């Protein structure tokens, strides 16, 4: 009887649910009622079906969570709907051990699958963003099936890549693909129907994952949001090391107390260029601040820079260059973002292996826990890293014809005040997409980029930084005009491409009162927002998008 029932369930797999019940409300969001789940099976039965998927992937357990909370390695998560918690493992090679979970709403499913992304070097599931948007907990609250993975290693194993090349491949791209395939299979088995659409919304390494999926596995997702994508890992890591080397020169270290001095000088020169003096530079690439103006005329103090500090600051703005060819390896830090550099100037000029750059070269590239960042050669070592690890961890392809032909849509975003990944890389990468495609219009048929003035890495900062991205506060209006995810769904499911977003700044980035301080307009790159020179500068209606 169980085999007959199993065949019945899998016979329904090809049946896609209708989205005829969906509608677009007056604010532009997709308002989808929960799916009527006529063919769902008891959660515990999923573990009895003997489900197996691509890459030697299987289900370990399936548990009904009905009390509104669940205990995870990230702590107890509450205010959750009833759901089926599926635990699985994938072992595509003898040295692979990819842990993952799929969470399936019992009676609040909106018909869609949205994968969580995983940050940094992962090593744990993305259960939560501490009450902010983006973890499995918030995704399931919004009615999606969601999934996350440790990508094949544990965070407690610091040098997990050394001696384990298969685990590097799992981390780079294989784990995310296999878990996505398995999650879709679990959805079909549990509900008796496949998801109407599948999405991934993430940032940083999650942004890299999103672009990697589009480039290598274009059938996995119908649409992705790729925030601050760490998609040029080998070169971004070199950027970290460049910064560390510059600040490690004798007398070159910049105290955090001097960051305000630098920022104030940059803003005095460049803030007004975008038509509004507000402490935020709309496009830092238009700023040509020369650090030499701050060089101390007399004794060193927090109001000036020493000559070695001026040299170091120039290098930070410049970004790494190949000493032999002079070619740029990666972007530098943005002018005007200096107040967000506290951790940069405090932590990078050390031999610690726990920065992104040091971890990449010591763990993934050279397999040496004692590797010294000061030895990195920005010619030969970068070339080696590109070929040895970057060949399968960088998601830098510029021809996305396969995904485009399948109708896949991509929304990218990047904060100009990013203090973790030098932000100029993202528009540079987008420009390369345009160059490969032959026109901006061709790229915008499937990919839109939104640059965010005053936003640090993925979220927060002095600008308006809540618009539906991972880790951000939930927007005040759940509508496509305010929310990247809903805009992506409108684009994929309704054919309405996003041109602008309303970004919100709350009075406190971590506040629960949701008091709006200001709102700004985000424009589809390369356009930028410009103040109309009339109206409240804190009102989004006082801005318009213009050509740069």
How many CB atoms are closer than 10 A to CB 455?
33
Q: What residues are labeled active site?
A: 204, 418, 457
Q: Which residues, at least 6 apart from 357, have a Cβ–Cβ distance to it below 8 Å?
A: 236, 237, 238, 239, 240, 241, 244, 348, 373
Alpha carbon distances (Å) from 337 to 62, 420, 424, 518, 530: 46, 11, 12, 19, 20
Beta-bridge mates of residue 102: 86, 147
Q: In terms of Cα–Cα distance, which of 396, 345, 378 is closest to 212?
A: 396
Locate 382 and state its tokens.
């970068």
Locate 505 and state its tokens.
């700044």
Locate 377 and state its tokens.
């050669």
Beta-bridge mates of residue 223: 199, 409
Give me the residue label for tokens 């109206």: 535
Q: Is the dihedral of CA 136, 139, 145, 148 positive or negative?
A: negative
Q: Do 369 and 460 meet the contact criterion of CB atoms below 8 Å apart?
A: no
Alpha helices in 341-467 (DSSP H): 342-347, 356-359, 380-385, 391-393, 401-405, 425-437, 440-444
In the sheet that holds 52-53, the strands lie side by side as: 52-53, 57-65, 83-90, 98-105, 146-149
Locate 60 and state its tokens.
């370990």
How many CB atoms are closer than 10 A to CB 6?
17
Q: Do 201 and 224 meet the contact criterion of CB atoms below 8 Å apart?
A: yes
């Amino acid at each position: 009887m169980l085999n007959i029932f199993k065949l019945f369930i899998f016979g329904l797999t090809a049946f896609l649910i209708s989205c005829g019940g969906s509608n677009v409300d007056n604010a532009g969001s997709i308002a989808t009622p929960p799916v009527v789940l006529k063919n769902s099976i008891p959660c515990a039965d999923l573990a009895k079906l003997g489900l197996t998927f691509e890459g030697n992937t299987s289900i370990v357990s399936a548990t009904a969570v009905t009390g509104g909370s669940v205990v995870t390695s990230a702590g107890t998560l509450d205010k959750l709907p009833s759901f089926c918690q599926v635990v699985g493992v994938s072992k595509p090679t003898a040295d692979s051990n990819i842990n993952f979970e799929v969470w399936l709403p019992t009676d609040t499913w909106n018909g869609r699958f949205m994968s969580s992304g995983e940050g940094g070097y992962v090593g744990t599931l993305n259960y939560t963003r501490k009450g902010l948007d983006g973890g499995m907990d918030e995704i399931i609250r919004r009615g999606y099936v969601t999934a996350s993975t440790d990508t094949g290693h544990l965070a407690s194993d610091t040098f997990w890549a050394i001696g384990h090349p298969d685990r590097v491949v799992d981390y780079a791209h294989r784990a995310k693909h296999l878990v996505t395939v398995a999650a879709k299979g679990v959805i079909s088995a549990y509900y008796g129907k496949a998801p109407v659409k599948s999405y991934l919304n993430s940032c940083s390494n999650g942004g890299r994952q999103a672009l990697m999926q589009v480039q290598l596995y274009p059938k996995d997702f119908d649409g992705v949001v790729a925030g601050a994508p760490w998609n040029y890992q080998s070169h971004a890591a070199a950027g970290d090391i460049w910064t560390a080397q510059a600040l490690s020169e004798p007398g070159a270290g910049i105290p955090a107390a001097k960051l305000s001095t630098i920022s104030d000088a940059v803003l005095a020169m460049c803030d007004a260029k975008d038509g509004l003096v507000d402490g935020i530079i709309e496009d830092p690439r238009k700023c040509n601040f020369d650090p030499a103006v701050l060089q101390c005329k007399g004794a060193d103090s927090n109001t000036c820079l020493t000559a070695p500090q001026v040299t170091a600051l120039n290098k930070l703005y410049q970004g790494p260059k190949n000493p032999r060819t002079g070619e740029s390896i990666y972007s530098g830090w943005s002018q005007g973002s200096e107040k967000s550099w506290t951790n940069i100037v405090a932590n990078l000029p050390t031999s610690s292996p726990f920065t992104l750059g040091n971890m990449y070269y010591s763990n993934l590239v050279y397999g040496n826990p004692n590797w010294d960042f000061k030895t990195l050669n920005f010619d030969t070592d970068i070339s080696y890293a590109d070929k040895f690890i970057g060949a399968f961890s960088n998601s830098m392809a510029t021809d996305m014809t396969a995904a485009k032909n399948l109708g896949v849509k991509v929304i990218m975003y990047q904060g100009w005040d990013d203090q973790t990944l030098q932000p100029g890389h993202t528009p540079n990468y987008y420009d390369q997409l345009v160059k490969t495609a032959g026109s901006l219009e061709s790229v915008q048929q499937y990919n839109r980029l939104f640059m965010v003035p005053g936003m640090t890495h993925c979220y927060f900062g002095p600008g308006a930084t809540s618009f539906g991205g991972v880790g951000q506060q939930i927007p005040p209006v759940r509508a496509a005009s305010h929310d990247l995810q809903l805009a992506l769904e409108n684009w994929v499911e309704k054919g309405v491409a996003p041109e602008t977003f309303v970004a919100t700044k709350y009075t406190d980035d971590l506040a629960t009162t949701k008091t709006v301080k200001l709102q700004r307009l985000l424009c589809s790159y390369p356009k930028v927002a410009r103040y109309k020179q009339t109206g409240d500068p804190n009102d989004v209606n006082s801005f318009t998008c213009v050509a740069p």
